Amino acid sequence: MVTHITTQTQNGNIQLSPDKSKRISPEALCHIVLRTTPDNFDRMVDFYLTILAGRVSHQSHRLCFMTYDYEHHRIALIKDATAVPREGAPQVGLHHVAFGFKTLQDLATSYEEKKAAGMLPVWSVNHGMSTSMYYEDPDGNQLEFQVDNFDTVPEAVDFMASPEFEENPIGVNFDPEVFVKRVKSGEDDKSIKARPNIGPRDRR
């Protein structure tokens, strides 16, 4: 438990501690809200319900709230007639959102379920600290589905501070079909999660 160091001034205001490690942080990332065009609204709803195996908490003519776990909503979609589709080169803004699975078996099953629904990853990569598959929604937003490659967070942090990660902070691509075969074969998880060394890489 973090003890938050603040100083109360004479007028009752709180003075922020200069020590960032002592400041209060959010307990959780609760939900994400996306704006979409009227033409894509229904496609976006179907996409997220399918890719997250989710359910609708509330839907109206211009809003949809959905969840896949104990929260009342994790994703919300807004139909906005003023929204403009993405065009051309990548734009500034949110790059991707990541969702986690506990096991490689779950990630493999998720891949097969999404494939059966006509959804294929646009990028499959072993980042080192995670094994990940990326998908794109109808608006071009990217979603990452991942499994941690290390048993503990400190191990992952150590890897990210290593010369190997300094040389290649992006990862090593893999074929998802080969990945599924390796998982189903009973190969040891550590072997599948181990990231090959391909030398320097600084972009996708």
Same domain flag for 177 and 121: yes
Distance, in Å, from the CA atom of 154 to the CA atom of 160, rounded to the nearest integer, reads: 10
- For residue 47, being part of any structural domain is answered with yes
Q: Is the pLDDT of residue 17 over 80?
A: no
Rounded mean pLDDT of 73-89?
A: 90
Percent share of the chain, pLDDT over 90: 79
Domain of residue 163: give its range.
96-197
Residue 10: its pLDDT value, please?
59
Question: pLDDT of 131-153, one tens digit each?
Answer: 999 999 999 999 999 999 999 99
- For residue 55, being part of any structural domain is answered with yes
- For residue 185, being part of any structural domain is answered with yes
Question: pLDDT of 112-124, one tens digit each?
Answer: 999 999 999 999 9
Same domain flag for 63 and 101: no
Q: What's the CATH number where 54 sits?
A: 3.10.180.10
User: Residue 140 in contact with residue 37, Cβ under 8 Å?
Assistant: no
Distances (CA, A) of 94 to 15, 35, 87, 193, 198: 31, 12, 15, 27, 28
Question: pLDDT of 49-58, one tens digit each?
Answer: 999 999 999 9
Query: What is the three-class DSSP state of 139?
Result: coil
